Amino acid sequence: MSNEKTPSALEGNESAVSQPGSSEPQDAGLASYTREQEVRVVRKLDWNLMSLFFVLYMLAYLDRGNIGNARIAGMAQDLKLDGNRYQWLLNIFYIAYVLFEFGVLLWKIFPPHIVGTIVVFGWGLIATVQSGTHSWGGEMALRLLLGAFEACYGPGIIYLLSFFYLRHEIGFRCGIFASAAPLASTFSGALAYGITSGHSHLANWRLLFLVEGIPTILMTAIAFFFIPDSAEKARFLTAEEKDVVRSRAMRQVGTNAEARIGGIKLRDLGLVLLDWKAWVCGLMYFCGNVTYSSLPVFLPTILQDMGYTAIDAQGLSAPPSFAAFLFALITTWIADKTQQRCLVLFVTAAVGGVGYIILATVDTVGVRYFATFLASAGVFSTIPNILGLTLNNQGSDTRRGMSIVLINLIGQCGPFLGTNVFPTKEAPRYVKGMSICAAFMFFAALLALIQRVLLMWENSRLDRKYGSVSASKESKDVAQENYGPNFRYVL
């Protein structure tokens, strides 16, 4: 059990913590601003940051998941992917993803635009070079490197978002970012459909890697110039808007935005390992990733085994992924507005579980195809809601970063199971794989309810110690999101 009830030192030089019930900021540098001014700033952050991060993550997910499309486009024959060789190409990516997960903290230690540039160029280059591989061993090496670079990007950006958005805003932004994954699956199916129906001099699967890898390399320059090191350094904000940003940072953690980059607190890293809330989120993340990792790479194969041709399977995998994209945005928006993340998580996980139950028990092709919509929507919306819950319930920048590392160290072990529960010998029904995925989704739903009950108990303890506090989003108290008298857990 962690000692959250004891206010910890604030990040950087922050030392001002408001008292319970205080409505006035206790820092002279905390400028006042209207709701309209804040909305304008947040909208600018969304248009300039979220659009860039979204596009980059969509490319990352294309480069990660297009191996499923490449497999049925001829790679399995050319690289002799017999036995469990294809499963190992999936496994090696996630082995690297786990081993390099501490790269998340680089976004706090070094200037984000430098970290982002190196990471984007690295995975883009590796993704493109896959088009030239001629052996299973060479592809294994490239997938290892791809996992190392991507481990620093996806989780790292989720962490970086907590430096720009407040706790009642962060969930929807996690949803926007993570929804790039199902949208990438949508375009991956459509793009693969176009490529595999053509007659190129280059093998179709090689052309697929080439076409989807080059845009990432081209985005490197944009990452360098347009990822800001802090909100105060964002070139798209005016001087007046930067004053609002400074006030929001004081309201959030008690220090200016720029001071939050440049170091970590080693003590806080250790405290996260003692925090049951982070471990429960990690277990939920594991459950979600069992299905999250396997669905995009096996969905075309599952559809093909329902009786569709390989070409049709590529095209039919797009609509379920687009439904998941919409559901991820809707559920994270609801969670932000209601601040009831655990209840939303319960619903999303249950929807995914129902989808997998239908896939495991029903023979009718039309019903099974409908079930892929439920499974996709549930799986792809569960992940961003877990991320928002994780960030909300750690009370320092270092702890927020370490919690993202921890849930990924636990959660990214899920793909080792998820990518191995659909062996070809169990086609076309894959009853065992579908049943396993359903069980983990229902277990995630149960964990969400348990987490909610325990967080309510923690909040009642804090109320008894400090007195009740207002949960208003309009509060201007200083350092609301760091441990102190005004900190309460989001349910």
b/e for 317-336, b at 16 or more Cβ within 10 A?
bbebbbbbbebbbbbbebbb
b vs e for 28-49, b when ≥16 Cβ sit within 10 Å of the residue's Cβ? eebeebeeeebebbbebbbebb
Question: Around Cβ 122, how many Cβ atoms within 10 Å?
Answer: 20
Q: What angle do CA 51, 232, 169 make, to 5 degrees?
A: 50
Task: Specify the length of the chain in residues.
Answer: 491
pLDDT of residue 306: 66
Name the one residue in this structure whose structure tokens are 């529960």: 421
Q: How far is the CA of 1 from the CAs of 389, 410, 458, in angstroms?
A: 18, 18, 11
Q: Are 304 and 72 in contact (CB under 8 A)?
A: yes
CA distance linking residue 372 with residue 62, whole number of Å? 20
Q: Is-contact 384 334, C-beta < 8 A? A: no
Contacts of 179 (CB under 8 A, 6+ apart): 54, 324, 325, 328, 329, 380, 384
Whole-angstrom distance, CA of residue 38 vs CA of residue 399 = 26
Q: What is the pLDDT of residue 313?
A: 67
pLDDT at residue 199 in the model: 67
Asked whether the beta carbons of 208 and 192 are under 8 A apart, the reply is yes
pTM over 0.85: yes
Mind spelling out the 3-state secondary structure of the chain?
CCCCCCCCCCCCCCCCCCCCCCCCCCCCCCCCCCHHHHHHHHHHHHHHHHHHHHHHHHHHHHHHHHHHHHHHHHHHHHCCCCCCHHHHHHHHHHHHHHHCHHHHHHHHHCCHHHHHHHHHHHHHHHHHHHHHCCCHHHHHHHHHHHHHHHHHHHHHHHHHHCCCCCCCCHHHHHHHHHCHHHHHHHHHHHHHHHHHCCCCCCCHHHHHHHHHHHHHHHCHHHHHHHCCCCHHHCCCCCHHHHHHHHHHHHHHHCCCCHHHCCCCCHHHHHHHHCCHHHHHHHHHHHHHHHHHHHHHHHHHHHHHHCCCCHHHHHHHCHHHHHHHHHHHHHHHHHHHHHCCHHHHHHHHHHHHHHHHHHHHHCCCHHHHHHHHHHHHHHHHHHHHHHHHHHHHCCCCHHHHHHHHHHHHHHHCCHHHHHCCCCCHHHCCCCHHHHHHHHHHHHHHHHHHHHHHHHHHHHHHHHHHHHCCCCCCCCCCCCCCCCCCCCCCCCC
Do 69 and 300 touch, CB atoms closer than 8 A?
yes
Q: Are 20 and 466 in contact (CB under 8 A)?
A: yes
* Closest listed residue to residue 181, CA positions, set 412, 381, 413: 381
Torsion of CA 220, 194, 92, 404, to 10 degrees: 50
Provide the residue-wise pLDDT of the chain in tens; the chain has 491 residues.
444 444 333 334 333 333 333 333 344 456 677 888 889 999 999 999 999 999 999 999 888 888 877 888 888 888 888 888 888 898 899 899 999 999 999 999 999 999 999 999 999 999 999 989 999 999 999 999 999 999 999 999 999 999 999 989 999 999 999 998 888 877 776 777 677 676 667 888 888 899 889 999 999 999 999 999 988 888 999 888 888 888 888 888 877 767 788 888 889 999 999 999 999 999 999 999 998 777 765 666 667 666 666 666 667 777 888 899 999 999 999 999 999 999 999 999 999 999 999 988 988 878 888 888 999 999 999 999 999 999 999 988 999 999 999 999 999 898 888 877 877 777 777 888 889 999 999 999 999 999 999 999 999 999 998 888 765 555 566 777 778 888 889 99
Determine the distance from the C-alpha atom of residue 359 to the mean position of all C-alpha atoms in its chain, rounded to a whole number.
26
Rounded to a whole number of angstroms, the CA Rg of the chain reads 23
What does the block give as tokens for 176? 């926007």
Structure-token pair, residue 40: 């304008």
Give the torsion sign (CA, 447, 453, 456, 457). negative
End-to-end CA distance of the chain: 18
